[in-house]
Amino acid sequence: MQRLFLFTLSFLFLYSCKVKQENPIALKHKTSKNAMIVSANPWASKVGTDIMKQGGNAVDALVASQFTLAVVYPRAGNIGGGGFMIIHTPEGKNEALDYRETAPAKAYKDLYLDKNGNVIPKLSTYGGLAVGVPGSVAGLYAAWKKYGHIKDWKKLIEPAINLAKNGFPISKAEAYRLNKYKADFVKYNPNNQVFIKNEKWKEGDMLVQKSLANTLQIIADKGPKGFYEGPVAQAIVNKVKKSGGIILAKDLQNYQAKFRKPISVDYRGYKVISMPPASSGGVALGQLLKITENYPIKKWGFHSQKTTQIMVEAEKRAFADRAQFLGDADFYHVPIDSLLNDDYLKHKMTDFRWQSATPTDSLMAGSYTLHKESFETTHTSVVDQNGMAVSCTTTLNSNFGSKVIVDGYGFFLNNEMDDFSAKPGVPNQFGLIGAAANAIAPHKRMLSSMTPTIVTRNGKVFLVVGTPGGSTIITSVYQVILNTIDFDMNMYDAVQAKRFHNQFLPDEIMYEEGAFSQQVIDSLQKKSYHLKQVKALGYVKAIMSKNNILEGSGDQRNMDDTVDGF
């Protein structure tokens, strides 16, 4: 009896040590010869690497890491949101996967306007009416079903289930955000105790999510039907309705992820592959690169006055087109070929003058203060040992989305409905404007700035890149590409280099401290450019393949970004 007692104590001690292990190290830079993954969390990167070591390919690793992020990175990792994915196969095939959320069947154009036609504050950002139909589970399954190498779907979700069931020690950044949004959690989820504590969360506290573990087990056992039909789906409908929303069971049943033809442009001998609408990322990035290619920025130098001015003017024009022409191509004709036409883009620059900034007030009416999007979105880049690559950006939109947690199932729902244009010319919470192309309609996908991108040279992967950051996603990816191709930076330097951003309206250049010399700042101001210093722009996660070596970099701007590989 005593021996049994001692054995039990020993087992419990070992189990406790296993569960309360420290977070894997958040390594920001690494090189390897075989495979690599960069994500927003050490656990997710470790899981992705383990899957590839067990024979999985880049898609398998991506899927496993995304389910893990739903557990360990709840402010952005998700099963209640959506995203976009670019896949490059070893044979050289490129494909885009769109699993963006959709508007419910009962949604309509003026959903967020009062009787006087004014936008009702916060209605599209908080609570059930802000929730779009989630796409993440359908998207991850579709990617695995078509491209995955590991045959057992359950194997890809098991690591996430174990972390949710047994718990993990949270990071300092996660503790901060759980404390910051406590009041919202209480308001919309008064009976949920997982994320709500009497005392403050602190680094190292164990976050145990048994309800989420149960949900993930259902998805593992039943695939997407376990999420879009049955008890989980009904719980989503019930919670959304209780919180003031309009999602119906048929909205979930009818959801489909869609494979699409990616946007592809050539830039100085490289092929840049990115997302088509309903993402604005690929078209805007393509415009930026094609305009830039006409100027010798390498000769002018990194962040010189002339290089900066050309890049800003290109950004103004790309974002003006974004506001006017881009939306869900299934609902609105997006003139992609015209927008990426060389003659059209050269014509767009004919009113540019070196002497002064191109005025924007005559191009589109309206003025407002930009509320720069934070980094609630998250990105993962993967390259495997066979040359397959995946670039994936996913989001709930705001931190913890709509703040609504599905009762009994433990996951947050998105607030992506705010990415529609609630009213033409009126900005959303992140300062982005839109027109009829991005108006609300049933089953429509809302416009996004997510820009998962893969760059190839001679058919082989050169760069896998992406970032969170709302509208700054597009310009951050743009700058990292220029840093590697035009300015010959290695991966680490290209990611850490200071960045700047302009999005047409408001008429200002946001820049990180140290991005420009005082001479460049003075010169730009004399040319009537308005500058605004900000803390950070983008949390880039990128991998470069060069001379048979993979070099990965997480962003020093985000303490939890992690590179792993072998």
Give catalytic residues, as residue numbers: 377
Per the CB < 8 A criterion, the answer to whether 62 and 384 are in contact is: no
Per the CB < 8 A criterion, the answer to whether 82 and 132 are in contact is: yes
Compute the distance between CA of residue 307 and CA of residue 321 in angstroms, rounded to an integer.
22
Q: Where are the alpha helices (DSSP H) in 443-528?
A: 472-485, 491-496, 518-526
Per the CB < 8 A criterion, the answer to whether 77 and 68 are in contact is: yes
Q: Which tokens belong to 530?
A: 């308005």
3-state helix, strand, coil in the chain (%, to 5): 35, 20, 45
Q: What is the DSSP letter of 421?
A: B
Q: Which of helix, strand or coil describes residue 183?
A: helix
Q: Which of 284, 256, 215 is nearest to 71 (CA)?
A: 215
Angle between helices 58-72 and 136-147 (to 10 degrees): 160
Continuous segment of H or E residues that includes residue 362? none
**CA 94 from centroid of its chain's CA atoms:** 19
Compute the distance between CA of residue 208 and CA of residue 203 in angstroms, rounded to an integer.
14
Tallying the residues shown for the chain, one arrives at 566
**CA 409 from centroid of its chain's CA atoms:** 24
Please write down the HEC assignment for all residues of 184-207.
Answer: HHHHHCCCCCCCCCCCCCCCCCEE
Q: What is the DSSP letter of 129?
A: G
Q: Which of helix, strand or coil describes residue 114?
A: coil
Q: Which tokens belong to 127?
A: 């609570």
Provide CB contacts within 8 A for 556, sequence distance 6+.
28, 496
Tokens 């049943």: give the residue.
253
